[in-house]
Amino acid sequence: MGVKQFIKSLHAFPRAEEHLLQKTQSGAVVSIIGLVIMATLFLHELRYYLTTYTVHQMSVDLKRGETLPIHINMTFPSLPCDVLSVDAIDMSGKHEVDLDTNIWKLRLNRDGFIIGTEYLSDLVEKEHADHKHDHNKDHHGDSDQKLHAHSFDQDAENMVKKVKQALANGEGCRVYGVLDVQRVAGNFHISVHGLNIFVAQLIFDGAIHVNVSHIIHDLSFGPKYPGLHNPLDGTVRILHGASGTFKYYIKIVPTEYRYISKEVLPTNQFSVMEYFSPMNEFDRTWPAVYFLYDLSPVTVTIKEERRSFLHFITRLCAVLGGTFALTGMLDRWMYRFLEMLTKPNAKSVYR
């Protein structure tokens, strides 16, 4: 055997003889079906290759001296904006009352439509330093005597009338903005704690009448990344009976999201547990909505990655080759089946 003959013997795709290359209608149908299947599988594999997937990694959180952004968007349908305040306190001892740097309030009517976009300060914010709400004191002792002894200016009296009128009209308030706190455990709460205790008594005639029903449209601790779900978004808590205090215990997990473009997005994800404490007329505290947060010592890194091109080619060859082989087998089976059906008819013609 010569060299040329040896090389020809290695040919893995020998040509069939002309009389064996018979074209049939059944073969055409199978070919069309095979082409459609291969085109569909090709597009599926191409989309699978182009889409990214994420890889999660965990490590110890080493960040120091940074702030924690808290994005708030809540509606209080039963409390006017004049009485609501946002207070924050953390383990470092920093206590801020009625934060208004990045927090805004929108006045809402009974139907939930905005009737005012201006920022509304608390009633007696200037007196809050001298008359703080103390959860450990009895607010019901001799409050009537102190109330008469305390002198209010004309502006405060007018504000009390305004708030009572707003309550009668069913006004609500939407609180939204960004609260920047230190990156340590702490809490922030939304309530009437920014009010002078005596003014609050005049307006509500007792803490049990403070309705802290609320709707959480958005509560997050940083920008959102693809696939992030904030468990408190869309939470609705409406009180129809006695009031009380809502407490949300939040565990924050520092997170970094790394896009396929190498861009890094620092943010946070969290889990939450909810607790409600009903209030009676003998309680010394005032209703509020508390968010008590703590940070995890572990940070999560989420990376976007794309599958390799060789992986794509390997899957593509397997899928297309398998489909081609399967349709070839189907064509042969159909040809033999039709041949078996037509062969007896051919014999009957010659008899």
pLDDT: which is higher, 143 or 43: 43
- The one-letter code for the residue type at 305 is E
Per-residue pLDDT tens over the stretch 175-225: 988 888 888 899 999 988 877 788 888 888 888 889 999 999 999 999 999
d(CA 99, CA 175): 11
**Residues shown for the chain:** 351
Give the per-residue pLDDT at 155: 66
Give the per-residue pLDDT at 96: 62
Give the per-residue pLDDT at 232: 95
What is the average pLDDT across 10-21? 58
Give the per-residue pLDDT at 145: 45
Strand 244-258 to 95-96 pairing = unpaired
Give the per-residue pLDDT at 16: 57
What is the average pLDDT across 23-38? 78
Beta-bridge mates of residue 101: none
Give the per-residue pLDDT at 72: 93
3-state SS of 225-266 is CCCCCCCCCCEEECCCCCCEEEEEEEEEEEEEEECCCCCEEE
Task: Name the E strands within 262-319.
Answer: 264-278, 288-295, 298-305
pLDDT: which is higher, 25 or 305: 305
The tally of CA atoms less than 13 A away on the side-chain side of residue 2 is 2
Contact 327, 34 (CB under 8 A): yes
Which position has the token pair 């090709």? 42
102-106, 139-143, 197-201: which range is least confident on average?
139-143
Report residue 315's pLDDT band, with 50, 70 and 90 as the boundaries.
confident
* Paired tokens of 171: 């006004």
- The one-letter code for the residue type at 28 is A
Report residue 259's pLDDT band, with 50, 70 and 90 as the boundaries.
very high
pTM: 0.70
Contact 74, 233 (CB under 8 A): no
Report residue 306's pLDDT band, with 50, 70 and 90 as the boundaries.
confident
Give the per-residue pLDDT at 133: 43
Contact 242, 279 (CB under 8 A): yes
Element containing residue 210 per DSSP (H, E): none
9-23, 227-241, 335-349: which range is least confident on average?
9-23
Per-residue pLDDT tens over the stretch 36-80: 888 888 898 888 888 888 899 999 988 877 888 999 999 999 999
Give the per-residue pLDDT at 99: 55
Per-residue pLDDT tens over the stretch 155-184: 667 778 888 888 888 899 999 888 888 888
* Paired tokens of 153: 């200016």
Contacts of 252 (CB under 8 A, 6+ apart): 68, 221, 268, 269, 270, 293, 294, 295, 296
Contacts of 52 (CB under 8 A, 6+ apart): 260, 304, 305, 306
Average pLDDT along the chain? 79
Q: What angle do CA 252, 53, 69 make, to 5 degrees?
A: 25
Give the per-residue pLDDT at 122: 35
